[in-house]
């Protein structure tokens, strides 16, 4: 979806909905990426348990999700682990079971895959049924293969590229999800140029942040720490070797943004920038990590278990099971119990007084494990990086906002950087000439309005 369509959709008066991510194969995956936080979730279930979602759970999920959704559009997101391991026939049945609900709702499907198992048959199915595919690809071969290997330890890059070519061959709509690990953050333009060379036009960058296991995680048989409590000082701040450095992550986004805003607006869509733009125009973030509160985005496991969040799949965050409980009531109980509001209520003083609060809102609670300058708990590990990016992009967001007010294409901004853009008089400009000029290092906005 383009920047402008994202903004226009957010302007509509649509009730707040529920977002669910389903795990039809649980945490089962054919890859064994070093930084993956979900592979270890298999330890929360019985060793011999079949992690394949039964049709009974799938049908209960479809019915409950559609009926619980107050919005006119329902998006089913199938994730993992690796969801294609469930087999194409499972998704054919998904589409069949969704059909009776098309009379009252617009239903869309999206699937997040590592791409290594894609075939012509899969891609034809995706195209025929309008599936949006999210492809996990971290960048050039050496960057991608550093952490994304299969269970035999072999690199996965060539298989992912093969899968991407099949998606293109069949005209399947897809975007790329790129994880930014420690080493990746030092090569922002290598990553961005690679995606452009590959013809990728929709990209989302996700920072890799994980801590070493604490006592509770070790008790569950997990190798990463469980999420922090936010209002209690976290003693375990030891991060993994591949965790991205905060300021480097901010520099990574900033370097890509600087090229994008000068050359690629309207041609390449980077979701991180679109989220920032939504916040800048007052719509709030469309993604939970930068929302004021969370709690309405849940994870549905293979057996129907529903958890408060994809990053909180732990016994203490289990809300219920689709076989016995109503999805809407489970989500509401999560919000009522304080899971969502807790994100805002526990913000440290430096966050509440921060100039980029409206863009960040403390970030993902899972990453809020360091202390603030006032020795308060609950500061986001990535705080320095977020500040760097949001402050750097602020002047451009002011210009984007002005273009929105004037109903002009976002690409106009590329003509206003370092030189004046003269916008002729119109009804939108109050019948005055407007000059938009983003002066380097001086801020942005309407430099002057001339008669």
The predicted pLDDT at position 48 comes to 65
Give the number of other Cβ atoms within 10 Å of residue 304's Cβ: 21
Query: How far separated are the first and last CA of the chain, in Å rounded?
Result: 36
- How many H-runs (helices) and E-runs (strands) does the chain carry? 15, 13
CB 174 within 8 A of CB 132: yes
Element housing 310 (H / E): none
The predicted pLDDT at position 54 comes to 97
Cα–Cα distance between 403 and 125 in angstroms, integer? Answer: 39
- Report pLDDT digits (tens) over 152-161: 999 999 999 9
Cα–Cα distance between 219 and 227 in angstroms, integer? Answer: 15
What is the DSSP code (8-state) at residue 227?
A: P
Residues assigned a catalytic role = 310
Where the chain has pLDDT below 70, the residues are 1-16, 48, 441-451
The predicted pLDDT at position 447 comes to 36
297-300/421-423 β-pairing: unpaired
Per-residue b/e over 400-418, b at no fewer than 16 CB within 10 Å? bbbbbeeebebebbbebbe
Cα–Cα distance between 142 and 157 in angstroms, integer? Answer: 9
Phi, psi of 102 (to 5 degrees): -70, -15
The predicted pLDDT at position 441 comes to 62
CB 393 within 8 A of CB 235: no
pTM, entire model: 0.92
CB 449 within 8 A of CB 436: no
The predicted pLDDT at position 427 comes to 86
């Amino acid at each position: 979806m383009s920047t402008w369509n994202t903004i226009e959709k957010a302007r509509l008066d649509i009730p707040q909905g529920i977002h669910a991510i389903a795990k039809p194969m649980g945490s089962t995956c054919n890859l064994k990426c070093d930084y993956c936080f979900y592979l270890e979730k298999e330890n929360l279930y019985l060793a011999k348990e079949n992690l394949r979602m039964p049709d009974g759970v799938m049908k209960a999920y479809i019915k409950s999700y559609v009926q619980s959704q107050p919005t006119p559009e329902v998006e089913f997101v199938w994730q993992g682990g690796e969801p294609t391991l469930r087999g194409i026939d499972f998704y054919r049945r998904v589409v069949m079971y969704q059909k009776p609900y098309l009379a009252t709702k617009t239903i869309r499907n999206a699937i997040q895959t590592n791409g290594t198992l894609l075939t012509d048959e899969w891609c034809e199915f995706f195209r025929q049924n309008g599936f949006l595919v999210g492809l996990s690809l971290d960048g050039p071969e050496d960057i991608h293969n550093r952490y994304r290997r299969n269970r035999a330890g072999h690199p996965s890059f060539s298989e992912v590229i093969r899968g991407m070519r099949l998606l293109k061959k069949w005209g399947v709509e897809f975007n790329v999800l790129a994880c930014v690990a420690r080493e990746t953050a030092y090569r922002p333009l290598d990553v961005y140029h690679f995606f452009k060379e590959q013809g990728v036009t929709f990209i989302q960058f996700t920072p890799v942040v994980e801590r070493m296991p604490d006592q509770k995680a070790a008790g569950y048989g997990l190798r990463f720490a469980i999420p922090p409590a936010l209002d209690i000082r976290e003693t375990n701040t030891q991060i993994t070797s591949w965790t991205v450095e905060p300021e480097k992550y901010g520099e990574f986004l900033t370097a890509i943004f600087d090229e994008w805003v000068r050359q690629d607006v309207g041609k390449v869509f980077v979701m991180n920038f679109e989220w920032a733009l939504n916040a800048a125009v007052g719509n709030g973030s469309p993604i939970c990590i930068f929302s004021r509160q969370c709690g309405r985005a849940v994870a549905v496991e293979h057996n129907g278990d529903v958890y408060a969040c994809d990053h909180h799949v732990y016994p203490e965050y289990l809300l219920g099971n689709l076989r016995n409980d109503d999805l809407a009531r489970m989500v509401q109980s999560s919000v009522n119990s304080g899971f969502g509001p807790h994100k805002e209520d526990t913000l440290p003083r430096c966050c509440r007084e921060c100039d980029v609060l409206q863009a960040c809102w403390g970030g993902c609670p899972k990453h809020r494990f360091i202390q603030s300058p006032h020795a308060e708990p609950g500061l986001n590990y990535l705080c320095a990086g977020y500040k760097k990016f949001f402050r750097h992009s602020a002047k451009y967001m002011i210009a984007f906002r002005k273009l929105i007010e004037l109903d002009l294409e976002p690409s106009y901004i590329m003509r206003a950087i370092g030189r004046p853009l003269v916008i002729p008089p119109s009804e939108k400009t109050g019948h005055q000439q407007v000059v938009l000029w983003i002066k380097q290092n001086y801020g942005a906005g309407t430099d002057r309005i001339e008669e």
